[in-house]
Amino acid sequence: MPVDRELLDIFRSFHARAETSFVVESNVAPRPEATYSHYRCQRHFEELSEWLHAKGVTANMPLHTLRKEFGAKSARSTAYMQRVERFAMQTSRSRVSTI
C-alpha cells in the first residue's frame, strides 16, 4: 500500500533514535504500580482524536475508525496485488506455452 515518503521518513527517524523495540518512544515513564489505567501516550491519543474529528471522522472512537479504514484499504490493496500476480503468472505461462 502506498505510504507517503515524508511519513515513512518521520517513522524512520523515530526508529533510528529508539532505545527500545518501540518505533515511537514515550517521554512518560511507565507506572506498573498504578491502580488505574495509565496510558503513556494519552496526550498523543487525544491530539490524534481531535485531528481526526477535525478531518470529518464523527465516530465516538475515531482511532478505531482509523484502524478499520487502514485495515480495509490494506486488504483491498493486498487483494489487488494478488490479482496482479495471478495475471502476471498466467501471462508468463501463456507466453511460454506458445514458444
SS3 98: helix
Quick check: 90 pLDDT over 90? no
In this predicted structure, what is the pLDDT of residue 64?
A: 92
Query: 52 Cβ partners below 8 Å, 6+ apart?
Result: 62, 63, 65, 66
Q: Which residue pairs, CB below 8 angstroms and at least 24 apart, start in 74-80?
A: 74/1, 77/1
Alpha-carbon distance of 4 to 2, in angstroms, equals: 7
Answer positive or negative: Cα dihedral of 43, 14, 56, 78: negative
Residue 69 placed within a domain: yes
Residue 11 lies in a domain: no
Instruction: Tell me what pLDDT residue 27 has.
Output: 83
Q: Give me the mean pLDDT over the 31-60 stretch.
A: 90
Total domains in the chain come to 1
Q: Is the pLDDT of residue 18 over 80?
A: yes
**Is 14 within 8 Å of 20 (Cβ atoms)?**
no
For the segment 58-80, the average pLDDT, to the nearest whole number, is 87
Q: Confirm whether 81 is domain-assigned.
A: yes
The answer to whether 62 and 52 are in contact (CB under 8 A) is: yes
**Which domain range does residue 50 map to?**
40-99
Q: Answer whether residue 25 is part of any domain.
A: no
The pLDDT value recorded for residue 49 is 95
